[in-house]
Amino acid sequence: MKTYLAVILTIVIAGGVGVGGTYYFLNKKAATDRSNLQAQIDVLNTKLLGDTAQSSPTATTTATAPATSPETIVTSFYNWYNGTDADRSALASAPGGSQALQTWYDTAMNAQGTAGGADPIVCAQDTPPSITATTLAKDATSAQVNVTEAFTPSLAVTVNLKAVSGLWQIASVTCPSSN
């Protein structure tokens, strides 16, 4: 009988140690994973929102213009857009792009229908070989950038930007009126 009790006691103790050890390991792993994920979220928020990013929902923002110049954002966007592999359905995720830009673009393209016409981003049927961007107006929440496209003769379009979460995002493009 003593052997039988010793075997049962050994099984209970081993089971308790096994279950306790497993619980400790899984709990420790979950806490470590949670901490690592929060660190990754904080890094991404900092990259997306700048130094004002915080992981707490009580983060406050001030009405200061984004640090990157509107010209830099517009130039990066047009370099991407004029690239041969630019996906016109991915304007929201393009450099300086936004969902507002994607909606504006889709609406402009749908208004043209199947007849075709000028691309609403470059205001021409062809993409320009190069562009020059110059800020026309800027405050803490919006900016307008003149884009001179290197056609012969050159073509000037106005790019409208909004400051969103500390970043400039392109909202729309205004083509010159036809004479």
Q: Where are the domains of the chain?
A: 2-52, 70-174
Q: Is the peptide bond before 176 cis (omega within 30 degrees of 0)?
A: no
Residue carrying structure tokens 């857009």: 81
| pLDDT score of 57 | 42
Q: Is the pLDDT of residue 148 over 50?
A: yes
| pLDDT score of 58 | 42
Beta carbons within 8 Å of 71's beta carbon, 6+ residues apart: 133, 134, 135, 145
Angstrom CA distances, 64 to 54, 98, 121, 140, 172, stand at 17, 19, 27, 5, 21
Second-level CATH architecture of 70-174: Roll (3.10)
For residues 96 and 163, is the Cβ–Cβ distance under 8 A?
Answer: no
How confident is the model over 43-95, as pLDDT tens digits? 666 666 554 444 444 444 455 667 789 999 999 999 888 886 667 788 888 88
Q: Is the pLDDT of residue 170 over 90?
A: yes
| pLDDT score of 171 | 93
The first and second tokens of residue 139, run together, are 């405050």
**178: DSSP letter:** P
Q: Is the pLDDT of residue 159 over 50?
A: yes
Global pTM exceeds 0.85: no
**Strands (DSSP E) found in the chain:** 131-138, 142-149, 155-164, 167-174
The CA dihedral of 19, 21, 23, 26, to the nearest 10 degrees, is -130
